[in-house]
Amino acid sequence: MHTFEFNRPKDSAAAVAGAAKAKTAQQGADVRFIAGGTTLVDLMKLNVETPAKVIDVNRLPLDKIEATPDGGLKIGATVRNSDLALHPRVQKDYAVLSQAILSGASAQLRNMATTAGNLLQRTRCVYFRDTAMPCNKREPGTGCPAITGFNRTLAILGTSESCIATNPSDMCVAMVALEATIHVQGPKGTRTVPIGDFHLLPGATPQRETVLEPGDLITHVTLPPPVAGSKQIYLKLRDRASYEFALASAAVVLTLSGGNVTRARVAMGGVGTKPWRSPEAEAALVGQPANAASFRKAAEAALRGAKPQSENGYKVELAKRCVAHALQTAATA
C-alpha cells in the first residue's frame, strides 16, 4: 500500500514552502496540494499518482468570491464549483461560466471540486488511468497506445506524436472565452498567467501540463469586467445527458449591433489537448451578419486545423455543429 505524509499548513507561504521541495511541478509531483480531492484521490487509488507528501489547502483563506475595483470578479482557489456556478454575479454577468460548471460532473462532485483543482484536473484517457499500460504522460518515454488504440474520446486539436489526450474541463473552456487570469504564489513571489497561456500543448513533454513550477500555489482567478450586452452560451455534447465528459463543447461570448457581430470569443472543449480558444472563428465572425451562414463559416475556421485519429473523425463535424449551434443560440437569446 502507498503511504504518504499529510500536512495542513497555517498559511499560503507555508504551503508554498512545503510544495517547493517537490522535484517537479504540481501535476505528477512527489509533493502535492490537495483541495476537493476529486481528481487527486481518484488517481491515488489507481496508483497513477503516488505523492510522498500531500498538503491540504482547504483551510487557507482562499474561499471568497469578491468584486474587483475595475468591476470584474476575483474567485478564490478553494471556492467550490457549486458555489461559483450559483453565485448571483456569475449567473448574471458570466452566465457561460455558470452553465459550463453546471454541465459537468454531478452535484456531489461540484460541492467538493474547487476552482484551482478544476484548472488542474487530468485527462480521462483510459491508458493514462491504467498503470498496466504504457503512457507518455504518466511515464515519459513509454509510448502512446492511444494513437493506435482506443481514441474515440480523445483530441483532434493540439495533438502531438507523443500524446493525443483531451483536456476534460468544462469550467476552463468558459474561462478561456471570458479571458480569465490565473494568480499564482510561488517560491519567487506572485505572478499572473492569462488562462490561454496556462495549459501547455503536449509536444514532446506531455507530462508537463501547465506552466506551474514546483511550489506554485494558485491563489485565485480573476475575470475582467463583463462585456456590456454580451450574449453567452455554453453548449456541451456528450454520450449521455448528464454526468459525462464532453465529446465536443463550445463557450461563446457574442456582442451584436444592428444584426452584425461586433465582438466574439469562441472556445471549445472535448476536442483539444488544452481548453481551446479559436481566434480563427472569432476573426471570421467580427463584422459579419449574425446568421447561420456566418456561424457555419466560423465553425469551419475553428476546425480547420483538426487532425482526427482512427476512431474520432466524427468529432470534426460534431464540433463544427456544436460551435455553429452555440453561436446561433447565443445570437437569438
Ligand X SMILES: Cc1cc2nc3c(=O)[nH]c(=O)nc-3n(C[C@H](O)[C@H](O)[C@H](O)COP(=O)(O)OP(=O)(O)OC[C@H]3O[C@@H](n4cnc5c(N)ncnc54)[C@H](O)[C@@H]3O)c2cc1C
Question: Which residues sit at the interface with ligand X, rule CB under 6 A?
Answer: 26-27, 32-40, 42, 57, 77, 81, 104-105, 109, 112-114, 116-118, 120-121, 168-171, 217-218, 245
Which residues have CB under 8 Å from 42's CB, separation 6+?
Answer: none
Q: HSE-up of 249 (CA within 13 Å, CB side)?
A: 34
Q: Name the grid cell of 157.
A: 486539436
CB of 275 to ligand X, least distance (A): 10
Q: Which of 34, 54, 144, 246 binds ligand SF4 (CB under 6 A)?
A: 144
Q: Who contacts 45 (Cβ-Cβ below 8 Å, separation ≥6)? A: none
As a whole number of Å, the CA-based R_g of the chain is: 19
Query: What is the C-alpha separation between 191 and 77, in angstroms, rounded?
Result: 15
Q: Of the candidates 78, 103, 123, 255, which one interacts with ligand SF4 according to CB under 6 A? A: 123
| Interaction of residue 137 with ligand SF4, rule CB under 6 A | yes
Beta strands 181-186; 73-76: pairing state: unpaired
The residue assigned the cell 501547465 is 210
Contact call for residue 206 and ligand SF4 (CB under 6 A)? yes
Q: In the chain, count of helices (H) and strands (E)? A: 12, 12
Nearer to ligand SF4 by Cβ, of 206 and 215: the residue is 206
Decide if residue 328 touches ligand SF4 (CB under 6 A): no
Q: How many residues bind ligand SF4, per CB under 6 A?
A: 15
Buried b (16+ CB within 10 A) or exposed e, 151-160: bebbbbbbbb
Q: Are 98 and 178 in contact (CB under 8 A)?
A: no
What's the Cα-to-Cα distance from 148 to each of 112, 307, 315, rounded to whole Å?
Answer: 36, 14, 17
Q: Which of 146, 195, 254, 302 binds ligand SF4 (CB under 6 A)?
A: 146
Residue 146 binding: pick among ligand X, ligand SF4, none (C-beta 5-8 Å cut-off by kind) = ligand SF4
Q: For residues 302, 205, 162 and 200, what is the CA-based torsion angle, rounded to 10 degrees?
A: -10
Name the binder of 167 from ligand SF4, ligand X, none, CB < 5-8 A by kind: none
Give whichever of 105 and 253 is closer to ligand X, judged by the CB atom: 105
Provide the minimum distance between the beta carbon of 288 and ligand X in the complex, in angstroms, as a whole number: 31
Q: Does 285 bind ligand SF4 (CB under 6 A)?
A: no
Of 158 and 206, nearer to ligand SF4 (C-beta) is 206
Which part of the chain contacts ligand SF4 (CB under 6 A), choosing from 1-9, 65-73, 144-152, 280-288?
144-152
At CA 221, angle to CA 271 and CA 277, rounded to 5?
25
Shortest CB 162 distance to ligand SF4, Å: 6
Residue 207 in the binding site for ligand SF4 (CB under 6 A): no
Least distance in angstroms from the C-beta of 244 to ligand X: 6
Which residues in this chain contact ligand SF4 in the complex, by CB under 6 A? 123, 125, 127-128, 135-137, 144-146, 154, 163-165, 206
